[in-house]
Structure 1
């Protein structure tokens, strides 16, 4: 029969268990503990086994892994007064646990709010075409501004990506009309350049033929050959202008 322990011993064992439970902390490899002793910062510990003095020391856990922050959809007015809905994603991590706990109350919420305001501010300085075509540069600009402002919080912004730039239906139709007009303009320009090049070639060919009468005769014979190969009941015989002048001379005589 096991001996019955005195109540005092039981109380001491229970107090010891409670003390150890309150004193022992285990931090993972990607975690750090910010230690406060009587409210004063006394250091950063971890990873591994951490022993605290109960009721005197307190610890705040900080995750050092990259955090994915989804920036909610923002209503942005572009520089050319176009209303668009934009959302983004921000990748950041804590590089200084002391600053992340002491300098800001909630670094996650603070980074989220700062990302939203910065997104609206940066995109509002650009036109819609730039938002659609220069997204990589805009990502870099937003990241640079966020990284500079969160540096005092011990936070490093790793990357910023604009996910979607959504337009209303009227703006989509307007952009489609603009693209169609641009295609028609390019087609007209290409057609005009082709006609200009063709006219230059015709002028050059005419000069060559006018300088060589035999060339005109050869061209006349080639035209007759082309007409003879055409299957039609009507045949038109072209004749050179000098032959017409010759016939006029005969009539006058």
Structure 2
């Protein structure tokens, strides 16, 4: 009799223990950034959370979904640009789940699916642009990739908020070619600037010559100023050109006598 009672008590205790475990397992706590997708006998029922929720064991199942922004690194991709340059490009994307129901039901693994889609989109978009555009217009390319990813992941309940291209790696040959191109461009700019300076200087010289031609003594003042500047350098020998017109201005009496003698000889 005692054996039967003891076995009955053990059985009752086991039942109570199992019921206690089932009762405890019914209660789930979801954090503020978590949601629970509830399935009732395999069918979608609702999205619960955050806080304390009740899930009936063996009848209901719950799948946790994190709503925080996910930072995903896109591995380096081999891209051939529109001008047939081979580069390796990697990027980072920022996205989050905005519809837990679609993220669980419409796609098997939304993280892996988003990663693969980002890799293929990165190659296809960058392949439509030239190398110079990849290097100079990253902001425009980031926006294009973000818009494409956002539209394609909308059916998965995912919002792509930002895409950033991190590195565009070139081989050594292409780096040297770009360096030569930059050097040639700078040489071209230097020649254009020098030519523009020569043109402006020639215009100013023409204006100065016109001003000096108005007053003959002005050129004499310029020569004297130049002599003063040369003398200040303490040179032992100075070679200075002296035009005939200047000599005529310096010796007006001799010139006048020569002209009078010439007239006299002609009259004689």
Moved more, 88-97 or 15-24: 15-24
**CA distance 1:139–1:46, shift in 2 (3 Å):** same
Matches within 5 A, 1:168-207: 168-207=171-210
Distance in 1, Cα, partners of 2:82 & 2:218: 64
Task: Report if the CA contact (8 A) 1:131-1:138 is conserved.
Answer: yes
Output the TM-score relative to the length of structure 2.
Answer: 0.84
Matches within 5 A, 1:56-95: 56-95=59-98
Distance in 1, Cα, partners of 2:151 & 2:53: 33
May I ask how many residue pairs the two structures share in their alignment?
250
**Alignment counterpart, residue 122 of structure 1, candidates 120, 125, 148:** 125
Matched, 1:35 2:42: no
Q: Give the unaligned 5+ runs of structure 1.
A: none
Task: Report if the CA contact (8 A) 1:220-1:240 is conserved.
Answer: no
Return the offset for 1:87: 0.8
Output the TM-score relative to the length of structure 1.
Answer: 0.89
Task: Report if the CA contact (8 A) 2:220-2:246 is conserved.
Answer: no
**Alignment counterpart, residue 8 of structure 1, candidates 11, 19, 28:** 11
Return the offset for 1:244: 7.1
Matched, 1:157 2:160: yes
Return the offset for 1:106: 0.8
Matched, 1:213 2:213: no
Distance in 1, Cα, partners of 2:57 & 2:246: 122
Partner secondary structure for residue 6 of structure 1: helix
| Residue deviations 1:37-87 (CA, integer Å, cap 9, x gap) | 111111001112222222221111101111111111111111211111111
Partner secondary structure for residue 14 of structure 1: helix
Task: Report if the CA contact (8 A) 2:47-2:101 is conserved.
Answer: yes
Q: Give the unaligned 5+ runs of structure 2.
A: 249-253, 263-268
